């Protein structure tokens, strides 16, 4: 199993995997997202307390979930880079960052749009919201490191360290509602250790939406990593040519 | 179209913003991938 996994650390095999899998992944992501979002928007009933704003759950929860999990994926890739110095792992982390940043942005804005009618405010310095904002700032820092540090090796090392520090806030965002009972944010919507979850009429379209977001994340990260590998290849070839010409 | 009542702006804005952000990200990702592939092909030609 491990040998199979490491086989894809070879850029050639990885390229083949991306070419073969992306058409199906794009289609599946589109199918799940359309089904989940349309089902959630058109066919779910209004909540007795929250009215139609409950429909925001279908964009807010999956995006928040993926924003945190994307950072954890970047953490694993950064650790692989720090331990094994494997270039594809750090390129995968770099490729995932804009995707995670977008998901975090969606979660923050949709949360504000849900908060305004329910809490009477777009923003509150609540533990979950604050840790999420810090995670968002970490995503921006991570992006800026890759943009402004010209030396790729240094950018990879510094961004890996930022990833390690940011993972504390990613985990805090995940568990803030369980750790602190204060604040406006409600408890976890979905939980494996809870006997009662949300009603089935919301649960099924929500799971479909989450699957859609997961599939879209995998597709985007695969394609973006392949793009980074191509850029890396071009850079190496340019260096080789310059050496030959010198 | 469901009756969203007094909250229609908040629901529609959250869905619209999500679709816009995700669509923008997909378009950007595909265009960057295609331009990288073109650049590599050009480089190999020379």
Q: Which residue ranges make up each domain of chain A?
A: 28-186+197-226
User: Which of B10, B21, B37 minimises the CB distance to A105?
Assistant: B21
Measured CA distances, A83 to A8, A87, A171, A221, A226 (Å): 18, 11, 22, 22, 22
Least confident of A21-35, A126-140, B24-38: A126-140
**Whole-model pTM?**
0.90
* Residue in A closest to B10 by C-alpha: A113
For the stretch A58-103, pLDDT in tens is 999 999 999 999 999 999 999 999 998 888 999 999 999 999 999 9
User: In the 8-state DSSP scheme, what is residue A246?
Assistant: -
Domain A28-186+197-226 -> CATH class: mainly alpha
Q: What is the dihedral of CA A148, A233, B26, A105, to 10 degrees?
A: -30
* Chain A 164-203, residues with CB within 8 Å of chain B CB atoms: none
Closest CA to A70 of A146, A134, A166: A166
pLDDT at residue A192 greater than cutoff 80: no
Closest CA to A78 of A3, A11, A138: A138
Confidence of residue A183 (pLDDT cuts 50, 70, 90): low
For the stretch A22-66, pLDDT in tens is 999 999 999 999 999 999 999 988 877 788 889 999 999 999 999
pLDDT of residue A2: 61
Q: Name, in order, each residue with C-beta under 8 angstroms of B33's C-beta and a sequence gap of 6 or more.
A: A223, A224, A226, A227, A230
Mean pLDDT of chain A: 87
- Crossing angle for the helix pair A152-179 and A57-84, nearest 10 degrees? 130
Do the Cβ atoms of B14 and A59 come within 8 Å? yes
Q: Name, in order, each residue with C-beta under 8 angstroms of A49's C-beta and a sequence gap of 6 or more.
A: none
User: Which of B18, B28, B36 minimises the CB distance to A63?
Assistant: B18
Whether chain B has a CB inside 8 Å of the CB on A57: the answer is: no
> What is the predicted ipTM?
0.93
* Residue in A closest to B39 by C-alpha: A234
Break chain A down into helix, strand, coil percent, rounded to 5. Answer: 80, 0, 15
Cβ-Cβ contacts under 8 Å, A102 against chain B: 21-22, 25
- How far is A202 from A39, CA to CA, in rounded Å? 9
For the stretch A224-245, pLDDT in tens is 999 999 999 998 888 888 888 8
Do the Cβ atoms of A227 and B18 come within 8 Å? no
Chain position carrying tokens 């310095």:
A125
Residue B2 DSSP SS3: coil
Cβ-Cβ contacts under 8 Å, B7 against chain A: 51-53, 117
Measured CA distances, A213 to A34, A80, A88, A134, A156 (Å): 11, 25, 23, 22, 27
């Amino acid at each position: 199993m491990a040998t199979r996994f490491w086989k894809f650390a070879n850029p050639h095999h990885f390229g083949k995997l991306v070419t073969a899998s992306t058409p199906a992944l794009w289609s599946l992501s589109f199918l799940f997202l359309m089904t989940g979002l349309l089902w959630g928007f058109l066919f779910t009933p209004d909540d007795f307390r929250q009215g139609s704003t409950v429909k925001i759950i279908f964009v807010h929860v999956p995006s928040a979930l993926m924003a945190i999990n994307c950072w954890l994926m970047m953490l694993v890739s950064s650790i692989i880079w720090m331990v094994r110095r494997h270039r594809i792992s750090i390129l995968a982390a770099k490729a995932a960052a804009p995707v995670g940043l977008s998901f975090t942005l969606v979660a923050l804005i949709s949360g504000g749009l849900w908060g305004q009618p329910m809490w009477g405010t777009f923003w509150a310095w609540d533990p979950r919201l604050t840790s999420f904002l810090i995670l968002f700032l970490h995503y921006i820092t991570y992006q800026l490191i890759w943009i402004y540090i010209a030396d790729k090796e240094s950018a990879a090392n510094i961004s890996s360290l930022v990833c390690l520090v940011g993972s504390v806030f990613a985990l805090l965002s995940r568990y803030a509602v369980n750790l602190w009972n204060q604040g406006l944010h409600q408890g976890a919507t979905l939980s494996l250790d809870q006997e009662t979850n949300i009603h089935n009429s919301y649960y099924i379209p929500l799971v479909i939406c989450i699957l859609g977001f997961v599939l879209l994340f995998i597709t985007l990260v695969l394609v973006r990593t392949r793009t980074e590998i191509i850029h890396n290849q071009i850079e190496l070839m340019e260096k080789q040519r310059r050496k030959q010409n010198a | 179209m469901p009756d969203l009542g007094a909250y229609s702006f908040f629901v529609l804005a959250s869905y619209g913003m999500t679709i816009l952000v995700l669509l923008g990200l997909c378009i950007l990702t595909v265009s960057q991938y295609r331009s990288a592939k073109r650049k590599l092909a050009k480089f190999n030609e020379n």
